[in-house]
A and B are shown apart, each in its own frame.
Chain A
Amino acid sequence: DAEITQSPRHKITETGRQVTLACHQTWNHNNMFWYRQDLGHGLRLIHYSYGVQDTNKGEVSDGYSVSRSNTEDLPLTLESAASSQTSVYFCASSESPMSGETQYFGPGTRLLVL
């Protein structure tokens, strides 16, 4: 069955370190998204991609970057981790290009920045 996986599932790091969260999908979807989930804020969009070599900033992109070198993967990099980036991160994908398409979510990565 097609799926979307994230790794690691849990990560503890120190402020100032670079951290990369992996996202891999086997749906063959063109669209991929990264969200962060925080109490009282719901899900907020960090970055998204509509295809290989395409990346776009979302609502809360400062301090994060992504790159899309193939269809299956969209890694999220925290360039210099800050305590404010302690959160649960979700990757999602959807079939393009029709709007209204369902997004399929990974299980999440819980990140703690000390």
Chain B
Amino acid sequence: AQSVTQLGSHVSVSEGALVLLRCNYSSSVPPYLFWYVQYPNQGLQLLLKYTTGATLVKGINGFEAEFKKSETSFHLTKPSAHMSDAAEYFCAVSDLRDDKIIFGKGTRLHILP
């Protein structure tokens, strides 16, 4: 069965500092991997996704993630945090077998001035 583990339910970084949100997955077949962001009182929106091809994926708002099969990881990074990045971030996995997505429990990102 697929699963996703996000390390750290809360992460705090200073404005301008590197953002690193960790995600590890478990899947018996090649995965599709996603990062979604949820701003307060809103639904989720896609930041980026990996399906096939290049393992470094660039998304919106300056975020990127790298698929590392050997480490079963898909960590999300951004070189310089902005106050507007404060939100909850969800890592998710699916695969070829169906269209369902399994979500991690989420990481709330706090940006310190």
Contact = CB atoms under 8 A, between A and B. Distances in A.
A10 to B, nearest CB: 11
A50 B99 contact: yes
Contact of B44 (A41, A58, A105): A105
Contacts of B100: 33, 45, 48, 58
A103 B105 contact: no
Contacts of B104: 42
Contacts of A42: 90, 103-106
B98 interface: yes
A50 B22 CA distance: 31
Interface stretch (A13-21, A76-84, A91-99): A91-99
Interface residues of B, number: 25
B101 interface: yes
Interface residues of A, number: 27
B42 A107 contact: yes
Interface of B: 9, 32, 34, 36, 41-46, 49, 51, 90, 94-101, 103-106
Given A99-B97, A100-B51, A101-B99, 4 more contacts: A40-B9, A99-B95, A99-B99, A100-B49
19 contacts: A40-B9, A42-B90, A42-B103, A43-B44, A43-B90, A45-B100, A48-B100, A90-B44, A94-B99, A96-B99, A99-B96, A99-B98, A100-B32, A100-B49, A100-B94, A101-B99, A103-B44, A103-B101, A108-B41
